[in-house]
């Protein structure tokens, strides 16, 4: 009797495990979405050269959040020009 119960349990276990294995919905999509997420800091200046640091969060080319960093601001001279090229001034591209 014990042998029959053990055999039925093993068969049931094999059927259930094969069902879950064959019907799993595991894909690499969630991993690829994580790879597109990034966070960085950037100083953004207005027309009077008052610059504030921000934390910028992106997912691919989409800007998710821009938060100012408190106490991270500076007033630069009026003749100061940003040495970075325009391409680097884009946020999430």
Strand ordering across the sheet containing 50-59: 37-45, 50-59, 62-75
User: What mean pLDDT do residues 79-93 have?
Assistant: 68
For 49-76, what is each residue's pLDDT tens digit? 888 888 999 988 888 999 988 887 889 8
**Percent of the chain at pLDDT exceeding 90:** 4
- pLDDT for the residue 29: 61
Specify the pTM: 0.53
Determine the pLDDT at residue 91.
80
pLDDT of residue 17: 77
* Whether the Cβ atoms of residue 36 and residue 48 lie closer than 8 Å to each other: no
Task: Dig out the tokens for 65 from the structure.
Answer: 């959040």
Overall average pLDDT of the 17-25 stretch: 69
CA distance 5 to 20: 23
């Amino acid at each position: 009797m014990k042998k029959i119960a053990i055999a039925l349990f093993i068969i049931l276990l094999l059927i259930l495990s094969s069902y879950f294995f064959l019907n799993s919905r595991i894909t690499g999509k969630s991993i690829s979405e994580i790879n597109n997420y990034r966070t960085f800091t950037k100083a953004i200046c207005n027309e009077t050269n008052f610059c504030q640091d921000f934390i910028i969060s992106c997912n691919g080319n989409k800007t998710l959040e821009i938060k100012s960093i408190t106490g991270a601001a500076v007033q630069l001279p009026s003749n100061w020009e940003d040495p970075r090229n325009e391409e680097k001034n884009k946020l999430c591209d």
